[in-house]
Structure 1
């Protein structure tokens, strides 16, 4: 059975972005142009554009059109910290359990996040971080395999992925999105929570001078974690 037309359009748009042919802020074809190009209705073209906008690949501006989203934040109010340092600063002991460490092919979401062509080789690591034996963070991290080829060979019960990446390929920039989420079955299991449970989830992309290095989701139990930041503004 052929794929729905909107998915065909969505894949076309994604491929143009992931390949680098369309760079940041590039104006993409309009609904009318896409409808004509793919012989579909405007509604079908609109769905493809809307889904890529919701996924963060595009930005839509009323009256102007759709544009490739910026791959970098101009600034961040959150300082990137190693969770070991955070826990030890509170006078507690950190430990870690490795759940998964494997090589994968990038799906559309990961490809856009890491600015890679679809099905590029990436490494995936899932870890549970403990504070005095209490699970406090579930880390799910995708890493650009080309930039950090030895990532998969590390023992992440002895060094955190963040610490290893910072030492191996100095990070120059980070983008953060913080949101409250309802824990799914997997998060409930790994963080030993009872449903329903609200969690704080931080999604982060990290850059080096060579490009996007990692795409990470850090999920924390809502009742055990608080996040804050401080900013200084000019007079």
Structure 2
């Protein structure tokens, strides 16, 4: 019996994989213009329609960006963070092969405002720890972290050096998190936020309001602001069968 020959990969998939390999192997970097469809068609000996399908599929997947009259480019990769969990932003950035750094604007004790007291389940005016940190990916500001903590559950917070560790990493180590509450909203940044994120007025942003518990204890309330053009949030949930 003659063994069956494996099915030949469709031509458009060969072109798609050629482009993906170029991106994975860093021959095609974010912002790089790929070959015009006419040239790809000649290179692979196929119709332009076949090339168009491969390019269209990659554009719909967010891998490529098409600009009418200008060409097709490798999309800038957005930073991505899990929506339903808590991750260390420093680890996210270094895992992408980029340099992480933090600008620590302040870490101090102050009296809780009405809003902060409500969020942390405290009385207005109760002492809270407050930190304001901007997290950078390379030279790009990626997140403003405006965080409040109940000092009872994080007594040595003010003594930490948040240039060398993030507040999230500190909390995961000292009071393991058991529950997380997220609220996500699209906002326009205020003037000071524009300055900290190096973005112009009117730039859309994503704001995550996050409260975290350790066991029965409400530990932290944070306002996390991300420039929308550089960031996205991801969620994956297993559906019961």
- TM-score normalised to structure 2 length: 0.64
Q: Are the equivalent residues in 1 in contact too, given 2:83–2:234 (CA < 8 A)?
A: no
Residue 179 of structure 2 corresponds to residue 173 of structure 1: yes
Q: Are the equivalent residues in 2 in contact too, given 1:123–1:142 (CA < 8 A)?
A: yes
- Structure 1 residue 132: Cα displacement: 1.0
- Structure 1 residue 180: Cα displacement: 0.6
Alignment partners' CA distance in 2, 1:140 and 1:150: 18
Q: Deviations over 1:164-212 (max 9, x none)?
A: 1111111111000011100110110101111111101111000012411
Bigger-Rg structure (1/2): 2
State the aligned residue count.
Answer: 160
Residue 126 of structure 2 corresponds to residue 123 of structure 1: no
Select the residue among 155, 165, 169 that pairs with 1:149: 155
Alignment partners' CA distance in 2, 1:100 and 1:172: 27
Q: Are the equivalent residues in 2 in contact too, given 1:177–1:202 (CA < 8 A)?
A: yes
Q: Deviations over 1:84-134 (max 9, x none)?
A: 111112121110010111101111111111111221110000001000121
Q: Are the equivalent residues in 2 in contact too, given 1:121–1:146 (CA < 8 A)?
A: no
Query: 4+ runs of 1 displaced by more than 4 Å?
Result: none
SS in 2 for 1:85: helix
Corresponding residue for residue 223 of structure 1: 229
Unaligned runs of 5+ in 2: 1-81
Alignment partners' CA distance in 2, 1:230 and 1:136: 22
Select the residue among 105, 109, 114 that pairs with 2:111: 105
- TM-score normalised to structure 1 length: 0.66
